[in-house]
Structure 1
């Protein structure tokens, strides 16, 4: 985008026309043409530097976002393991309490018998045979009690190991959370730098956003909005093609009086092939033909599938996409290369982001707390585009749609699985 507007600025560079020559000599015109060439080259160099910086920022942000999402998945796995261990610890503690109660009763009975003198057994209630039978039962009970005591010791050792495992998992969780916080700070720095670069073309971006907002107000539903956005994209492409100058014809050999004018006019004409490439950056890939080629936009668990009956404000209906339960403040990335064509609220969806991928495919992401992309921005697959909301203990849901020619299709077959859980 930045390169586009910088190079397009060259198109409005004043061109020296023959009528402007006045009484100037060919040498003066040649000097002015040379200055024009120098300015054009300087602008091209600056545009190339900015373009390289943007590309580097994009590549790094994709890498950092991937590490961030991996850490989010690791942290969720650690939390699940910790919760399982804590539940096991609670059950083991209850089991130990029950066994201790049984042991206490049995040992109390043995202790009462043990402290009685032998002559007391002779006058104990019951016949001598009953007294002997009771003594024999106690003799048999002692090994069983010893076995229970051994199992109790084993249970205590297991409980101690569980507590050590819990502490290890807590330490892992603290370390993973610290790494995640560091990666998020790194990503925030990258996003801030990208915002600085985008600020140089803020006027064009704001104009595109205003047009998209107006279309959203006029559209009755998502299909109509996408149709409007496609038409706007076609209009912009036609306008850009109309503004792009055609390659000049090879001039005839200039005469003495016309030589400088011909040179100046050629110098002010930018490389039209470069202008043509601005409409779609070279690193933006076409939409893939193979399924399982898109990135899952967030890590989490799919809790609503395409076509599943869900309850909306207007009543039960079939889901046109999928819903992913994520971590609080989870990172959201672009599922594939494309251009942001809408970012903002829309009827029944809340805050949404729409990315056009070409071949009439669009992806829609809804439920974001914050959107880090702007209308007109080109994004790469895996590039960070927003963040989920939610507080600790809550799992916000990211709603994802994939549409072709405005019609929703099942996104799951297109999304490469990352090992996250899919319900159902």
Structure 2
């Protein structure tokens, strides 16, 4: 029994043995193949690595060349920036010189305006005097002519004929006495007439001289205005060179105008915005407040409405109204920075200038404005002109307010011309 082996089971045993053997050797073969594939893949990747790195990264020599180019460009940018800064200093220097020239021309123009106003007043006064004297002479012409004619007739009569004339000698003596008492009065009237005629001749000569002088002054003014306009244009061009946000300023001012309902609110908004811009360091460097300089009235004219005056409707004036010649030049009353220029409510064309120590000047009633926001202004520098005509009749007028910390104050405290 023990040696007996069944062929069936024996075959099964061999088959099982073979099967187990195959099961044991197959995973090892698979593992060996995978290892070979991995090795080949790694070798392939190492072979391709230099080409991929070379395609993605530039070689070292070009990198050195690019760094040199960058350094050269940076040096050029530095030189360009220095040139621009130098140009900016030159522009500011030229701008300051231009503004000083404008102040001088404005002084000459206003001096000529004053002289012309005096000439026109003197011409008007002499014309009235000439008319009155001419009418007086015309009234006396008839009486004096009759008297002279009578005296001429008497002169032609010889004294001897008077004795033999009909009538008593007493009548002749009375006539002689009458003539003797009348002659001094006639002589006086004749002398007065001669003096009036001489005075009339002098008046006519004076009028002619004044009219000639007025024409000369007007001709000078025409040339001065042309020079001033040329300098104003130059000033604006220089400002535009250093002010790149000109359009933004215009839009900003227009927005503030729309949002402000009153003048007080507008000034408060301007001050608040300026403080915000200074804190943010976005305000132009040339927009800092300069010295106020010598105070002067913005226009050459006469005071027609003082500070605190009540008008026809009972409103109290918070400023002064100055009457001036048609088209008169308007200048900055003190040095400062223009904070507003444009139309505002019923003030019309208006300019607001901020001065040091919390002061603001408000100038309204202009026909043309020659000043822009954020521009520095010297005392006496032109900022515009008055209209040629007045809607209320008579001479054009300018309205001026001086404010301290937003509140109106009497301008007489700053301008001696307004003190009474």
TM-score scaled by length of structure 2: 0.76
* Residues 1:205 and 2:205 aligned together: no
Aligned-residue CA RMSD in angstroms? 2.8
**Distance in 2 (alpha carbons) for counterparts of 1:118 and 1:205:** 102
What are structure 2's unaligned runs of at least 5 residues?
Answer: 1-61
The Cα of 1:94 is off from its aligned counterpart by: 2.0
User: Higher helix fraction: Structure 1 or Structure 2?
Assistant: 2
What are structure 1's unaligned runs of at least 5 residues?
Answer: 1-21, 244-274
* Residues 1:218 and 2:259 aligned together: yes
Which one of 167, 190, 194 corresponds to residue 235 of structure 2?
194
Q: Quick check: 2:303–2:321 contact (8 Å CA) kept in 1?
A: yes
**Distance in 2 (alpha carbons) for counterparts of 1:133 and 1:165:** 48
1:363-403: CA deviations, max 9, x gaps?
Answer: 00001000001112111111100011124995210100000
Which one of 49, 58, 65 corresponds to residue 99 of structure 2?
58
* Count of residues in correspondence between the two structures: 353
1:309-343: CA deviations, max 9, x gaps?
Answer: 124xxx32111101111111111111111111111
* Residues 1:305 and 2:330 aligned together: no
1:239-289: CA deviations, max 9, x gaps?
Answer: 216x9xxxxxxxxxxxxxxxxxxxxxxxxxxxxxxx9x54527xx21x57x
Q: Equivalent residue for 1:295?
A: 296
Q: Equivalent residue for 1:77?
A: 118
Q: Equivalent residue for 2:332?
A: 334
The Cα of 1:195 is off from its aligned counterpart by: 2.7
1:20-51: CA deviations, max 9, x gaps?
Answer: xx944765554333222211111112212211
Give 1 or 2 for the bigger CA radius of gyration. 2
**Distance in 2 (alpha carbons) for counterparts of 1:278 and 1:168:** 48
Q: Which has the higher relative contact order, 1 or 2, with Cα contacts under 8 A spaced 6 or more apart?
A: 1
Which has the higher mean CA deviation after the structures are superposed, 160-169 or 401-410? 160-169
Helix, strand or coil at the partner of 1:230? helix
The Cα of 1:110 is off from its aligned counterpart by: 4.1
Residues 295 and 133 of structure 1, relative CA distance in 2, 3 Å threshold: same
Q: Quick check: 2:351–2:364 contact (8 Å CA) kept in 1?
A: yes
**Distance in 2 (alpha carbons) for counterparts of 1:80 and 1:231:** 47
**Distance in 2 (alpha carbons) for counterparts of 1:120 and 1:47:** 110
Q: Equivalent residue for 2:86?
A: 45
**Distance in 2 (alpha carbons) for counterparts of 1:341 and 1:24:** 53
* Residues 1:235 and 2:243 aligned together: no
Helix, strand or coil at the partner of 2:346? coil
Q: Quick check: 2:106–2:331 contact (8 Å CA) kept in 1?
A: yes
Residues 336 and 307 of structure 1, relative CA distance in 2, 3 Å threshold: same
Q: Quick check: 2:162–2:172 contact (8 Å CA) kept in 1?
A: no
The Cα of 1:358 is off from its aligned counterpart by: 3.0
Q: Equivalent residue for 1:18?
A: none
Q: Quick check: 1:343–1:375 contact (8 Å CA) kept in 2?
A: yes
Helix, strand or coil at the partner of 2:367? strand
**Distance in 2 (alpha carbons) for counterparts of 1:423 and 1:397:** 19
Q: Quick check: 2:286–2:375 contact (8 Å CA) kept in 1?
A: no
Please show how residues 354-373 of structure 1 align to structure 2 within 5 Å: 354-373=352-371
The Cα of 1:122 is off from its aligned counterpart by: 2.1
**Distance in 2 (alpha carbons) for counterparts of 1:231 and 1:336:** 22
Please show how residues 131-142 of structure 1 align to structure 2 within 5 Å: 132-142=173-183
Please show how residues 18-417 of structure 1 align to structure 2 within 5 Å: 23-24=63-64, 27-110=68-151, 118=162, 122=166, 129-130=170-171, 132-200=173-241, 204-240=245-281, 278-280=286-288, 284-285=290-291, 287=292, 293-311=294-312, 315-391=313-389, 394-417=394-417
**Distance in 1 (alpha carbons) for counterparts of 2:105 and 2:303:** 24
Q: Quick check: 2:163–2:169 contact (8 Å CA) kept in 1?
A: no
The Cα of 1:91 is off from its aligned counterpart by: 1.9
The Cα of 1:308 is off from its aligned counterpart by: 0.7
**Distance in 2 (alpha carbons) for counterparts of 1:181 and 1:80:** 21
